[in-house]
Amino acid sequence: MHGRILIINPNSSRSCTDGIAEAVAPFAAPGLPRFDVTRLTDGPPAIVTWRDWFSVAEPLCREVEREEADAYVIGCVSDPGLEAVRTVTDRPVLGMFRCAVTAAMARAERFGIIGFTQKSLPRQRRALQSLGVEDRMAAWIPLDLPMEVLTDPVAPQGRIAAAARELKERGAEVVILGCAGMAGHVAVAAEASGLPVIEPCQAAAAAALLAVLGARIPSVAI
Amino acid sequence: MHGRILIINPNSSRSCTDGIAEAVAPFAAPGLPRFDVTRLTDGPPAIVTWRDWFSVAEPLCREVEREEADAYVIGCVSDPGLEAVRTVTDRPVLGMFRCAVTAAMARAERFGIIGFTQKSLPRQRRALQSLGVEDRMAAWIPLDLPMEVLTDPVAPQGRIAAAARELKERGAEVVILGCAGMAGHVAVAAEASGLPVIEPCQAAAAAALLAVLGARIPSVAI
Amino acid sequence: MHGRILIINPNSSRSCTDGIAEAVAPFAAPGLPRFDVTRLTDGPPAIVTWRDWFSVAEPLCREVEREEADAYVIGCVSDPGLEAVRTVTDRPVLGMFRCAVTAAMARAERFGIIGFTQKSLPRQRRALQSLGVEDRMAAWIPLDLPMEVLTDPVAPQGRIAAAARELKERGAEVVILGCAGMAGHVAVAAEASGLPVIEPCQAAAAAALLAVLGARIPSVAI
Amino acid sequence: MHGRILIINPNSSRSCTDGIAEAVAPFAAPGLPRFDVTRLTDGPPAIVTWRDWFSVAEPLCREVEREEADAYVIGCVSDPGLEAVRTVTDRPVLGMFRCAVTAAMARAERFGIIGFTQKSLPRQRRALQSLGVEDRMAAWIPLDLPMEVLTDPVAPQGRIAAAARELKERGAEVVILGCAGMAGHVAVAAEASGLPVIEPCQAAAAAALLAVLGARIPSVAI
Amino acid sequence: MHGRILIINPNSSRSCTDGIAEAVAPFAAPGLPRFDVTRLTDGPPAIVTWRDWFSVAEPLCREVEREEADAYVIGCVSDPGLEAVRTVTDRPVLGMFRCAVTAAMARAERFGIIGFTQKSLPRQRRALQSLGVEDRMAAWIPLDLPMEVLTDPVAPQGRIAAAARELKERGAEVVILGCAGMAGHVAVAAEASGLPVIEPCQAAAAAALLAVLGARIPSVAI
Amino acid sequence: MHGRILIINPNSSRSCTDGIAEAVAPFAAPGLPRFDVTRLTDGPPAIVTWRDWFSVAEPLCREVEREEADAYVIGCVSDPGLEAVRTVTDRPVLGMFRCAVTAAMARAERFGIIGFTQKSLPRQRRALQSLGVEDRMAAWIPLDLPMEVLTDPVAPQGRIAAAARELKERGAEVVILGCAGMAGHVAVAAEASGLPVIEPCQAAAAAALLAVLGARIPSVAI
């Protein structure tokens, strides 16, 4: 078999889970590991508070213990439970936020983030601290839109375009979409800002491919 | 067409170029962008000094101006000419070192690097400064072996294993192979240290896939 | 009434809870807020893993919602659930680790920490990152002793003295006892190192008194 | 005896000295160390310049050599002479500014400071550098009011409220009153900003209690 | 002989080269090393892009190999080729930008830079990273004037004065003229801002004198 | 007149004062500002403690108020009273330590310091913090020799050579002599380490020349 990458969405939203699957679809190809996307059916509708963030760690650990995979991705752009999940498996475990930030850093020196709501900042800030790159964030701009508006094909375009433009004015050289719910709006942010745009589901897909395929390189020693 | 990722090895070594091609081969798949690997036939045999490092910037710019691609990778683990090449094309340009370091950061908080020779440290240190993560490097250990020994299937294994173990003792949580010439020794470093190992050619391959496929996500707006 | 400070030990150990009560006893006085110490009867025997650390956040929130107090202290030297608990009450919520580190910083520029076990480092490191003072830690030395040995009046004295001395040699100017289980060994660490020693339960008691009494200062405006 | 904490106001102002005594009064209780507050009768009327700041170091050393105490507090929110005074006694010596900043850090990640006058910034910035947390200050806003206005029960309320609100808008999560003269305005700043407010005299009182009582914890070894 | 300090202007502009000579003239004196100023006749008219910046490294190395001197100065305020040139001679090699920034730091804690054009920022930022003082730059303000306007005795005065004033308002305590072409405008920037002004050609002259004369101090051992 | 640079040695040692004069002599030349070196006759024999350090600030201010000069240098490698002296004159005031560290940074990325005694470290560390470059110090090695031994032509050579070599091994790329008393041993440190050596008296002389001559550049506007 070619391997399996399991993306676990810690919230229970089916539409959000579908959006993740759609975002990573371009990375699926014959002979490469396949991407499966699942969700915590008993999880919160979204990870909106610190309490939500802590609450999904244990269910994520159990899901990983239950489900065999070659690599796991925590499918929320605040990396809930990452440290715990890494202790229950020997396989690589990735967080979408860390994957997005590091992917952005490979493209430019200063990144900007479009946040879901003001409430999301402290959790993303904590992850930036763990990466040691808090001071490379040029700006963080929340949309504060309801999830259903955010995932609408058209409704949030103006707000996303405006945020992307403002991030550029404030020194961002690359834009990170700070929530999986914005996955459909990569083009809008890119056109508005003229900057590269990093979509976290895709950044995690690329990182997971590296984690799985990297181990496959034929050792010249054999 | 499915797109083309061009990896340009700034040195003239054919064997080094072949090693890069071998390292990225696992990332090739039907429907995904194809990887082409070329070299600067007039480049130095290896990038060993600052003078070598500066000298390849202009030839790299010319090669990129000559060759159409959807993304470019500078195929040396010191990212020579990266800033210049980014000014001559609108397409994404990636450096193998920055890709490797950021990929390592997605896996753990402290990384260690096995260097080619002591002489390589200043250039990698400069790139770490540009990323702002100099203090996340637990240790940097050079092998100081001739390239032909380094690329030998067996000869350098003991040295690489010892370096990987020492990096772990000194606090590294992930190991970066600091030269494309070590691409064949991922397994040795991984077994010796028990840590994830990042191979820069592959890290760049994954980052390039993200850069090309990321732009392909269907905008929900259309 | 004079106010109540509730210290919640997130583990279920009765002896550990008693040790906390003993450590804060000197701060109790007529007219000052009283200290109550409780525990999570369903909590883990100790917070040893990331999984333990995440698991107590929700029970801590519920306990705080249940119990009226003028200030709350999370009684574990890794501050589990701190961010979550702060969202469920308007009253001050303190973490013993953050209180100990900041108290140490008021005494000297470089601190050293005697850790419970090697496993505790990542959680304390994360909290240091949130404080932005990771680079002020001169050294972190784990004892790796079983809790029952650690809390023994005599058994761990040699190890604690040796660790305190080594911290000083490595540049520490103040010593932090990194686990509530060491509360009884302040004198040993102080005598061995000749440095001030910060005991986290007490550091939290002082910080809680400030949080409660600080609000009591008569406004000159009234 | 229960111990004595001596707070030395390095300026000669009687009203400022009384204000300090009033601020720490809530921390006095039967059985706890008593707080005595004195002043340098030959000191400057206030510490307004670098020259004032340097000039009080020697008199502070002499006062500490003259006066027995279990802990000393330098009663000015710029910590003048702290390093020198620490060399003339084995007892703990605390600076009000360092106590206030570290107390604020135990409450939140970003603090803001309401300064006495623009002239005070360089000295507080130097102390922040010694703590290594300069980049955790969200903003520093001076009042530039004469001391008699600052200590008036009513006059400065509008300015203090406005400053506290602005600190919050600029990212502060906790407010530090940057001069002992503002001790009476804690409530105003708290109500205006909705943030916790740290008053340095009180922060130093709590830190001094910890320094004195901390040494009192019965060693389980005896 | 009294020694020779060779300043090599990496661009081909004769007027720019003359401006450098004029700026360092006050440092020439009997008995001290003499300053010679040369230029790369085949260099670009100015160092405006990254491509220009990389392109002059090799010619600078050759010039240094050709020309005997006791110390060398790279005469452009972006330090092109510095690392490479240092490998081709045992004599001290200085970059005007690093000399200017470090000279400014000897005068005050926060510096501001008046840049040539917006395009110059990334190269100066990279050098600041190598010095580790990126966060000490209060502000960077480009003039975006053509070189012929910049070097005009009168034309750019208003813009330079305005930039100097704005740097002060944004926290700069010392002003750095970010391009040799501004050498004639020291007085304007100083009068407008009331701050010390560092002119890079002169800062490099002083650093070169130190490098040459420093080795001349009679060893007491002989 | 050609201007006067006044170097004030804050200690009362005549031999130390003579050593400073000898160190800066090579910088004197016809037409350039002249260097005068004086001392605080009532100062301590040396600046050995924090108390000494604070005590000379006021006398230094008075001396500067008394003595006309175009620039002032505080002649001790711990920059005592620098902030205060800068408030009593409009002329440039330099500290030997800051001048030495910044001069070293113009030469290389990592510096090492040979200290007078272990007691000197905290004051030099505080100055490094004010410069924001504490983490660029590869190592700090004290000699702990009596001043009369340190200034002996021969006696301390072995110790200085050993310290310089160790600094290099620990990553220093340039060596700073951390006390004016070592001024005669530049050659020894340079030969032993093969690194550039910065002598603070001379670094301050060069910085003072820049401060005085810099203002002399003819404004093109006139």
Report the pLDDT averaged over residues A183-197. Answer: 95
Check CB contact under 8 Å for A57 and C51.
yes
> What pLDDT shows up at residue B216?
59
pLDDT digits (tens, 9 = 90+) for A38-81: 999 999 999 999 999 999 999 999 999 999 999 999 999 999 99
Distance (Å, rounded) from C-alpha F56 to C-alpha F9?
10
Strand partners, A93: A72
Interface of D with E (CB under 8 A): 122, 125, 135
One domain for residues F78 and F38: yes
pLDDT at F182 over 70: yes
One domain for residues D185 and D103: yes
- Chain F residue numbers with beta carbons less than 8 Å from the beta carbon of C109 are 122, 125
Residue A222 in any domain: the answer is no
> What pLDDT shows up at residue A216?
59
Distance (Å, rounded) from C-alpha A160 to C-alpha A142?
10
- DSSP assignment, residue D155? T
Check CB contact under 8 Å for B54 and E51.
no
D155: domain CATH number is 3.40.50.12500
Q: How many domains does chain F have?
A: 2
One domain for residues E10 and E62: yes
Among all residues of chain B, which has the CA nearest to that of A137?
B132
For chain E, what's the residue count? 222
One domain for residues E113 and E189: yes
Residue E102 in any domain: the answer is yes
Pair A196, A186: CB distance under 8 Å: no
Check CB contact under 8 Å for D98 and C92.
no
pLDDT digits (tens, 9 = 90+) for C199-215: 999 999 999 999 999 86
> What pLDDT shows up at residue C220?
41
> Which stretches of chain E are DSSP H helices?
14-24, 50-55, 57-66, 82-85, 96-105, 121-131, 147-150, 157-169, 186-193, 200-214
One domain for residues E151 and E166: yes
Q: Residue D46's pLDDT band (boundaries 50, 70, 90)? A: very high
Check CB contact under 8 Å for D125 and E109.
yes
Nearest beta carbon to residue E221 from set F188, F197, F202: F188
pLDDT digits (tens, 9 = 90+) for A146-174: 888 988 889 999 999 999 999 999 999 99
CA B159, chain centre distance (Å): 20
Low-confidence ranges of chain C (pLDDT < 50): 1, 218-222
Q: How distant, in Å, are the alpha carbons of C74, C183, C202, D148, D169 from that of C37?
A: 10, 15, 13, 45, 37
Residue with tokens 């200043």, as numbered in its chain: B122
Pair E168, F183: CB distance under 8 Å: no
Three-state secondary structure of D11-68: CCCHHHHHHHHHHHHHHCCCCCCEEEEEECCCCCCCCCCHHHHHHCHHHHHHHHHHCC
pLDDT digits (tens, 9 = 90+) for C42-54: 999 999 999 999 9
Report the pLDDT averaged over residues D35-61. Answer: 97
Q: Residue B153's pLDDT band (boundaries 50, 70, 90)? A: confident
pLDDT digits (tens, 9 = 90+) for D134-184: 999 999 999 999 988 988 889 999 999 999 999 999 999 999 999 998 988
One domain for residues C146 and C192: yes
E28: domain CATH number is 3.40.50.1860
One domain for residues A192 and A208: no
One domain for residues C34 and C60: yes
Among all residues of chain C, which has the CA nearest to that of D198?
C214
Amino acid (1-letter code) at residue B202: Q
Q: What is the maximum span of chain A, computed from C-alpha positions, in angstroms? A: 56
- Chain A residue numbers with beta carbons less than 8 Å from the beta carbon of B154 are 221
Residue B222 in any domain: the answer is no
Q: Which chains border A (3 or more CB–CB pairs < 8 Å)?
A: B, C
pLDDT at D219 over 50: no
Token duo for residue F27: 């910088």
Residue C102 in any domain: the answer is yes
> What pLDDT shows up at residue D216?
59
- Taking the CA of residue F41 and the nearest CA in chain D, the distance in Å comes to 19
Provide the CB-side half-sphere exposure for F37 (13 A, CA).
Answer: 24
One domain for residues D85 and D24: yes
Provide the CB-side half-sphere exposure for E144 (13 A, CA).
Answer: 5
- Chain B residue numbers with beta carbons less than 8 Å from the beta carbon of A188 are 219, 221
Distance (Å, rounded) from C-alpha D189 to C-alpha D192?
5
Among all residues of chain C, which has the CA nearest to that of D32?
C29
Distance (Å, rounded) from C-alpha E65 to C-alpha E84?
12
pLDDT at F203 over 70: yes
- DSSP assignment, residue E166? H
pLDDT digits (tens, 9 = 90+) for E24-43: 999 999 999 999 999 999 99
Among all residues of chain F, which has the CA nearest to that of C173?
F122
> What pLDDT shows up at residue E214?
85
Residue with tokens 């079983």, as numbered in its chain: C146
Mean pLDDT of chain D: 94
For chain A, what's the residue count? 222
- Taking the CA of residue D29 and the nearest CA in chain C, the distance in Å comes to 6
- Chain E residue numbers with beta carbons less than 8 Å from the beta carbon of D122 are 109
Nearest beta carbon to residue E206 from set F105, F151, F210: F210
Pair C194, C202: CB distance under 8 Å: no
pLDDT digits (tens, 9 = 90+) for C52-88: 999 999 999 999 999 999 999 999 999 999 999 999 9
Residue A110 in any domain: the answer is yes
pLDDT at F219 over 80: no
pLDDT digits (tens, 9 = 90+) for F118-161: 999 999 999 999 999 999 999 999 999 988 898 888 999 999 99
DSSP A10-76: SS--HHHHHHHHHHHGGG--TTSPEEEEEE-TTS-SS--SHHHHHHTHHHHHHHHHHS--SEEEE-S
pLDDT at E62 over 70: yes
Residue E178 in any domain: the answer is yes
- Chain D residue numbers with beta carbons less than 8 Å from the beta carbon of E109 are 122, 125
Distance (Å, rounded) from C-alpha D170 to C-alpha D9?
32
Residue F221 in any domain: the answer is no
> What pLDDT shows up at residue E2?
75
pLDDT digits (tens, 9 = 90+) for D171-187: 999 999 999 989 889 99
Check CB contact under 8 Å for E130 and B126.
yes
Q: Residue F216's pLDDT band (boundaries 50, 70, 90)? A: low
Among all residues of chain E, which has the CA nearest to that of D134?
E135
Distance (Å, rounded) from C-alpha F104 to C-alpha F189?
14
The sign of the torsion formed by the CA atoms of F126, F130, F133, F135 equals positive
**Nearest alpha carbon to residue F35 among F59, F64, F60, F71:** F71
Q: Residue E116's pLDDT band (boundaries 50, 70, 90)? A: very high
> What pLDDT shows up at residue C181?
87
Among all residues of chain C, which has the CA nearest to that of D95?
C106
One domain for residues D86 and D125: no
The answer to whether chain E touches chain C by having 3 or more C-beta pairs less than 8 angstroms apart is no
Distance (Å, rounded) from C-alpha C7 to C-alpha C99?
13
One domain for residues A196 and A123: yes
Provide the CB-side half-sphere exposure for B179 (13 A, CA).
Answer: 29
Three-state secondary structure of F148-171: HHHCCCCCCHHHHHHHHHHHHHCC
Three-state secondary structure of chain B: CCCEEEEEECCCCHHHHHHHHHHHHHHCCCCCCEEEEEECCCCCCCCCCHHHHHHCHHHHHHHHHHCCCCEEEECCCCCCCHHHHCCCCCCCEEEHHHHHHHHHHCCCCCEEEEECCHHHHHHHHHHHHHHCCHHHEEEEEECCCCHHHHCCCCCCHHHHHHHHHHHHHCCCCEEEECCHHHHHHHHHHHHHHCCCEECHHHHHHHHHHHHHHHCCCCCCCC
Domain that holds residue C105: 97-200
> What pLDDT shows up at residue D222?
32
pLDDT digits (tens, 9 = 90+) for A122-151: 999 999 999 999 999 999 999 999 888 988
One domain for residues C57 and C101: no
Check CB contact under 8 Å for B49 and E86.
no
Strands (E), C23-80: 34-39, 71-74
Nearest beta carbon to residue F58 from set D54, D88, D126: D54
> What pLDDT shows up at residue E160?
97
Check CB contact under 8 Å for D86 and F58.
no
